[in-house]
Amino acid sequence: MSTVSTMRKPIATARDGMRLQRLVAFLVMAMPITGTGVAIYLIVRNGIGVVEIASFLFMYLVTMGGMTIGLHRYFAHRSFETGPRMRVALAILGSMSTQGPLLSWVTIHRKHHAFSDRPGDPHSPHVHENKVFGMLNGLWHAHIGWMFTENSADWSFSRDLMGDRKLFWVHRTYLYWVALSFLLPAVLAGGLTRSWSGAALGFLWGGLVRCFVVNQASWCVGSICHYFGTRRFDTHDHSANNYTVAVFTFGEGLQNNHHAFPSAARHGLRWWEPDLSGTLIWLLSAVGLVWNRYHPSDESIEKLRKAA
């Protein structure tokens, strides 16, 4: 690539794709917010029952687990190995977390690591393109705003996944898996309670409310966890360990640990650090579904620790 060609402006840009992406991003935010409002109104009027709580917890576990274990620790960082069936299962469960199609998600996340809190990071609260943010603008951009600017048509950092046809199929059928994440709790709750009202509550709590909380929690990793928390390692970015976010995101809130050791299967480096996904990966390895989990040695952990 000559230097001259990089100086020139592109002839065309994928504008139409961006428009569709913005619409999807808006729907992904607006519908769960509306549903959560309805759910709060129903709690005030009728109270809350076991169907609501069970639908929410079950779908939260499935989708947050799919995102953190599948999209994040397996596909983006390859922190463990698994077989072809589990690969597809992890891709599907990850897609059900409504965080974006596989190849786009992995590209955005690897860019986040390659340019952490520097120009090129898709969701940094500190900098975007040539803007250096004030605190509130930055947190807004890193939490939600980036969804409207980052182009999901770019898979340039996901080339290692493109050759797998089954994974490519999951990527292409992304919206069906999103739909499944709303239908599944409705069908399960409706079937188990043998009632239409059970199906409606399953859809509301396992679908919309769950989607709202999953969205907010996972966006906190990019925004809050690059501002507030403790920094055990000097990682040349602003990543921080935030234990509250880590509880809700099954360990992803331990951003400082994670940026220090991106391909570690466990983000919690001490026994008390909340990392449900790390424990779930251990359980999966105990039953033989995954193997070769990566973990940095004590020496390299000690070496990267900040001089106290």
Partner 1 sequence: MSVGLLTKLLGKKEEISHQPIELRTEASIQQWLVTRIAGIAQIGPEEVDMDRPFAEFGMDSMQLFELSGDLQKFLGHDVSEIVAWDYPTIAKLSSYLSSPESLVPAGETVVPEELAGMTLDPQATEPQR
Min separation Cβ 224 and partner 1, Å: 21
Q: Does 14 help bind partner 1 (rule: CB under 8 A)?
A: yes
Strand 81-82 and strand 131-132: the pairing is: unpaired
Of the candidate residues 97, 233, 261, 284, the single one contacting partner 1 (CB under 8 A): 261
Q: Does 201 help bind partner 1 (rule: CB under 8 A)?
A: no
Q: Are 217 and 244 in contact (CB under 8 A)?
A: no
Q: Does 129 help bind partner 1 (rule: CB under 8 A)?
A: no
Of the candidate residues 22, 292, 305, 306, the single one contacting partner 1 (CB under 8 A): 292
Please choose, out of 119-127, 201-209, 220-228, 258-266, the segment that lies near partner 1 by the rule CB under 8 A: 258-266
Closest CA to 253 of 242, 237, 261: 242
Residue number with CB closer to partner 1 (80 or 219): 80
Interface map 71-110 toward partner 1 (x if CB under 8 A): -----xxx------------------------x------x
Please choose, out of 19-27, 49-57, 85-93, 293-301, the segment that lies near partner 1 by the rule CB under 8 A: 293-301
Q: Does 288 help bind partner 1 (rule: CB under 8 A)?
A: no
- Between the alpha carbon of residue 16 and those of residues 21, 22, 30, 153, the distances in Å are 9, 10, 21, 11
Tell me the residue type at 47. Answer: G
The DSSP letter of residue 9 is: P
- Which of positions 135-154 make contact with partner 1 (CB under 8 A)? 151, 153-154
Please choose, out of 19-27, 49-57, 226-234, 261-269, the segment that lies near partner 1 by the rule CB under 8 A: 261-269
Cα angle 34-227-216, degrees, rounded to a multiple of 5: 15
Q: Are 63 and 96 in contact (CB under 8 A)?
A: yes
Cross-strand bridge partners of residue 233: 305
Rounded to whole angstroms, the Cα distance separating 210 from 206 reads 5
Q: Are 217 and 63 in contact (CB under 8 A)?
A: no
Rounded to whole angstroms, the Cα distance separating 259 from 113 reads 7
Specify the DSSP element, H or E, that contains 176: helix 174-193
Q: Are 307 and 291 in contact (CB under 8 A)?
A: no
Of the candidate residues 265, 274, 277, 284, the single one contacting partner 1 (CB under 8 A): 265
- Which of positions 108-127 make contact with partner 1 (CB under 8 A)? 110, 113-114
* Chain contacts with partner 1 (rule: CB under 8 A): 1-2, 5-6, 8, 10-14, 17, 76-78, 103, 110, 113-114, 151, 153-157, 159-160, 162-163, 165, 168-169, 259, 261-266, 271, 278-279, 282, 285, 292-297, 299-300
